[in-house]
Chains A and B, each alone.
Chain A
Amino acid sequence: MVITIESLTKRYGGFAAVDDASFTAAPGRVTGFLGPNGAGKSTTLRILVGLAEPTSGSARVLGRRYGDLPNPGLDVGVLLDASAQHGGRTGLETLTLAQRTLGLPATRVDAALDLVSLTEAEAHRRVRDYSLGMRQRLGVATALLGEPQVLVLDEPANGLDPAGIRWMRDLLRGFADDGGTVLLSSHLLAEIQMIADDIVVIGDGRVVAQGTKDELLAGHGTLVRAADPAALAAALTGAGFTAAPTADGAVTTDAGLDAAGAAAFAAGIAVTELRAGDGASLEETFLALTTDTQRDTPRASTGAAA
C-alpha cells in the first residue's frame, strides 16, 4: 500500500476531527475520500502531508512519514487548497518557485502548464485574476511538477465545470494507469462516482465504509416486471416478501431470483423481466452511511475540521 492511514486520531480540545481512522490507497488506483463538509477529510490529508501532527495513530506515504521524505515534491504531488496561492504572483512565477525549490529544469514548468491546459497568456496573468477552476489547474500543475508517483488532492474538482471534471478524471485515470497512486477528497458523490476506483467514506471523523466502487455500489433485491404490477406486488407480498413498485411499472422485492419467479408463477402471472435489482446509487449508500454519524444541526466546533 502506498498510503497507509492507521488508527489516526486528531483532537482539537475535546473535539475529535479525526477519530481512529484507518484506510489505505493502492498504486494503479484512484482512491476517493468521500465525506460531508467537516467530516475530517482535510485534517486527515494535512496530517498525511506533514502540515499537522496527529494526536495519535500514524499516516504514511511510500512507507515513510511525509516529513522523512528528503525531497517530497518529487514523490508526492500535493494540492490541499487551490485558493491558497499568492494572488500577486503570476501562474508562471508560482510554478517557477516550486520548480526551483525542487531543483528541476525550467522546462518542467512548461510541461506542467501543458498538462493542465493553461495557455501561455493565462500563465502570465496574476493568480488573483484566475477563476477557481484555473487555480485548481494551477494547483494540479504544481502537484505534477516533480513527476511524482503519488497524488494527494483535496477537493480538486471544486470550481471545475463538467468539462473540467471530465478532464480531471481523464488526467487522474491516466496517472493511475501509469502505476501512480491517487488519493482525492470530495464532498460530492457524483464526482467521486465519476473519478474513483476505490472509495473511503468518512463521517464525523470516522471511516464508515471503504471498498471498491463496485462493492459499494452492489445492488440488493430483485426486479420483476409483469403486465399487471399490482397483481404482481400482491403475489409477492402474499408469498411473504416485500414489494415496492418502481416508477416505470416494475416491482422490486427482497425475494431472491428463484423465489420471486416462483411466487409469480404460483399466482399465474407471466413475468416479462426478472433480474437482480439495480445498484443502490452511491448517494443512498453515502447518505445511509453518514446519517447516523452526521448531525443536521450545526455542531459547536466544526471550524477545526473543515
Chain B
Amino acid sequence: MTAVDTPARPAGAAGLPTLRGTTAPPLGRLVGVELRKLRDTRAGAWLLVTIALVVLGIIGLGTLWGVNATASFGSFVSVQVMPLQLLVPMVAVLAVTGEWSQRGALTTFALVPRRGRVVAAKALAVLLVTLAVAAVGVAVAAAGIVVGSALHDVPAAWDLTAEQAGRFLLITVLSAAVGFALGVLIRSSAPALVAYLGFVLIVPMLSAIAGSYVAWWAAHGLWLDLATTLQAFAAPQVTGEAWAQLGTSTLLWVGVPLAFGLRGLLRTEIR
C-alpha cells in the first residue's frame, strides 16, 4: 500500500512537515471495522440475531412438521430464500445509512477521507455477512434433514444441485446489493428501508397488476422488475432469457441507484 498511498508530492522534496501516518489503512482493516459496526449497536445486533432465529425457526418447524415422504434438503434451503431476501438487505441498508442517522459520518470520513474506500469496505463487509448467513442457512438445513429423517424415519434426499444452490445465493446477494444501493442513494435509515420493502413487496405487486392490464408490460415487465425476475430464479429451471432479464433489471435496481448515490456520497458535504 505504501507506494500507492504516499502523498503525491514527496515530503522531503517540498520541505513539508514530516507525517506520523505514512500509510493509509489497508482495505482489510477497514472491512474489519465495518463488520464490527454491523453488530456493535443494539439495532445491528438484534437484526443479526433475528436472522439467525428466523433461520432456526423455519428449519425447526420444517424438521418437526415439514417432513413427509422424504426429508428434502433442496426444499429446506429454498424455503429460507424469501425471508433472507427480506432481512439480509436490511443489514446492507443499515450498513450505509447508520453513518448518517447519528452523523457518525463526520468521524468516519475525518479518519478516512477517501470516501470510496469506506464505501468499498462496507460493501465487502455486507457481502461477507451475506455469505456467512447463507452458509449458516445451508448448515442448519443440513442438520434439519439429518434430524428430520431420523425423527420421522424417512430417507434423506440430498436433492440440491450446486447450480440451484448458486442461484439461491445469487438471489440473496443481489437483494443485498439492492439494499446497499438504495442505502447509498437515500442515506437515511427509515426511508431506505421502506424503499427496499417497496422494491421487494410493492413493485412486484404493482408489476403483476400492470401486467394484467397492459399486454406490453406482461410481455416485457420482467426486464425491469428485478424482484419478480429473482422469484423465477428460485424455480428448478432457469431460461436464458431470465438470465438476460436479470442483467437488465439488476442494472436498473443496483447499477443506477449506486451510480447516482455514489456520485452524491463522494462529493456531498458531510455535516
Instruction: Please measure, in the bound complex, the distance between the C-alpha atom of A215 and the C-alpha atom of B51, giving whole angstroms.
Output: 64
Instruction: Please measure, in the bound complex, the distance between the C-alpha atom of A71 and the C-alpha atom of B19, giving whole angstroms.
Output: 9
Whether A103 touches B25, Cβ cut-off 8 Å, given contacts A62-B17, A66-B113, A85-B102, is: yes
Interface residues of A in 211-259 (CB under 8 A from B): none
Q: Which of A46, A78, A85, A101 contacts B30 (CB 8 A)?
A: A101
B270 contacts A46, C-beta separation under 8 Å = yes
**Residue B41 is within 8 A (CB to CB) of chain A in the complex:** yes
Contact residues in A for B110 (Cβ distance below 8 Å): 49-51, 72-73, 78, 80
Instruction: Give the shortest distance, in Å, between A203 (CB) and chain B (any CB).
Output: 22
B21 contacts A73, C-beta separation under 8 Å = yes
B111 contacts A102, C-beta separation under 8 Å = yes
Instruction: Please measure, in the bound complex, the distance between the C-alpha atom of A53 and the C-alpha atom of B271, giving whole angstroms.
Output: 12
Closest to B36 in A: A97
Interface residues of A in 92-119 (CB under 8 A from B): 93, 96-98, 100-103
Whether A70 touches B43, Cβ cut-off 8 Å, given contacts A62-B17, A87-B102, A101-B29, is: no
Contact residues in A for B37 (Cβ distance below 8 Å): 97
Stretch at the interface among A142-150, A162-170, A277-285, A289-297: A142-150
B112 contacts A84, C-beta separation under 8 Å = no
Contact residues in A for B9 (Cβ distance below 8 Å): 64
Whether A103 touches B29, Cβ cut-off 8 Å, given contacts A70-B21, A72-B111, A73-B111, is: yes
Instruction: Please measure, in the bound complex, the distance between the C-alpha atom of A97 and the C-alpha atom of B42, giving whole angstroms.
Output: 16
Q: Which of A52, A68, A89 contacts B8 (CB 8 A)?
A: A68
Q: Which of A72, A80, A100, A103 contacts B113 (CB 8 A)?
A: A72
Instruction: Please measure, in the bound complex, the distance between the C-alpha atom of A153 and the C-alpha atom of B37, giving whole angstroms.
Output: 25
- Per-residue interface assignment for chain B, residues 92 to 115, with 1 indicating a CB less than 8 Å from any chain A CB and 0 otherwise: 000000100011101101111110
The count of A-to-B residue pairs whose CB atoms sit within 8 angstroms is: 121
Instruction: Give the shortest distance, in Å, between A136 (CB) and chain B (any CB).
Output: 14
Closest to B17 in A: A62
Contact residues in B for A98 (Cβ distance below 8 Å): 107, 111
| Chain A interface size range | 35 or more
Whether A63 touches B14, Cβ cut-off 8 Å, given contacts A72-B113, A89-B40, is: yes
Interface residues of A in 38-91 (CB under 8 A from B): 46, 49-53, 62-64, 66-75, 78, 80-81, 83-89
Whether A2 touches B36, Cβ cut-off 8 Å, given contacts A70-B6, A71-B22, A72-B110, is: no
A84 contacts B104, C-beta separation under 8 Å = yes
Instruction: Give the shortest distance, in Å, between A54 (CB) and chain B (any CB).
Output: 11
Contact residues in B for A46 (Cβ distance below 8 Å): 269-271
**Residue B190 is within 8 A (CB to CB) of chain A in the complex:** no
Instruction: Give the shortest distance, in Å, between B111 (CB) and chain A (any CB).
Output: 5
Contact residues in B for A52 (Cβ distance below 8 Å): 269-270
Whether A71 touches B107, Cβ cut-off 8 Å, given contacts A62-B16, A100-B29, is: no
Instruction: Please measure, in the bound complex, the distance between the C-alpha atom of A93 and the C-alpha atom of B40, giving whole angstroms.
Output: 8
Instruction: Give the shortest distance, in Å, between A148 (CB) and chain B (any CB).
Output: 8
| Chain B interface size range | 35 or more
B24 contacts A100, C-beta separation under 8 Å = no
B7 contacts A64, C-beta separation under 8 Å = yes
Instruction: Give the shortest distance, in Å, between B190 (CB) and chain A (any CB).
Output: 15
Instruction: Please measure, in the bound complex, the distance between the C-alpha atom of A72 and the C-alpha atom of B19, giving whole angstroms.
Output: 9
Instruction: Give the shortest distance, in Å, between A100 (CB) and chain B (any CB).
Output: 5
Interface of B is mostly: loop
**Residue B159 is within 8 A (CB to CB) of chain A in the complex:** no
Contact residues in A for B109 (Cβ distance below 8 Å): 50-51
Closest to A83 in B: B103
B102 contacts A71, C-beta separation under 8 Å = no
Whether A53 touches B104, Cβ cut-off 8 Å, given contacts A71-B25, A72-B111, is: no
Instruction: Please measure, in the bound complex, the distance between the C-alpha atom of A96 and the C-alpha atom of B33, giving whole angstroms.
Output: 9
Instruction: Please measure, in the bound complex, the distance between the C-alpha atom of A69 and the C-alpha atom of B17, giving whole angstroms.
Output: 12
B107 contacts A100, C-beta separation under 8 Å = no
Instruction: Please measure, in the bound complex, the distance between the C-alpha atom of A243 and the C-alpha atom of B16, giving whole angstroms.
Output: 54
Instruction: Give the shortest distance, in Å, between B124 (CB) and chain A (any CB).
Output: 15
B17 contacts A2, C-beta separation under 8 Å = yes
Whether A81 touches B106, Cβ cut-off 8 Å, given contacts A97-B37, A101-B25, A101-B29, is: yes
Q: Which of A50, A64, A67, A102 contacts B16 (CB 8 A)?
A: A64
Q: Which of A68, A88, A100 contacts B36 (CB 8 A)?
A: A100
Contact residues in B for A97 (Cβ distance below 8 Å): 33, 36-37, 40
B102 contacts A86, C-beta separation under 8 Å = yes
A51 contacts B111, C-beta separation under 8 Å = no
**Residue B5 is within 8 A (CB to CB) of chain A in the complex:** yes
Interface residues of A in 15-59 (CB under 8 A from B): 46, 49-53
A71 contacts B21, C-beta separation under 8 Å = yes
Q: Which residues of B contact A (CB under 8 A)?
A: 5-9, 14-17, 19-25, 29-30, 32-33, 36-37, 40-43, 98, 102-104, 106-107, 109-114, 267, 269-271
Enumerate 12 A-B pairs (CB-CB under 8 Å) in ascending A order: A46-B269, A51-B269, A53-B269, A66-B113, A69-B7, A69-B113, A78-B110, A85-B107, A86-B102, A89-B40, A98-B107, A148-B20
The 8 closest A-B pairs by CB, nearest first: A71-B21, A74-B21, A84-B103, A63-B16, A88-B41, A52-B269, A51-B270, A50-B113
Given A49-B110, A63-B15, 14 additional A-B pairs, CB 8 A: A51-B271, A64-B7, A64-B16, A66-B113, A67-B113, A70-B19, A71-B21, A71-B24, A84-B102, A85-B104, A89-B41, A97-B33, A103-B25, A149-B20
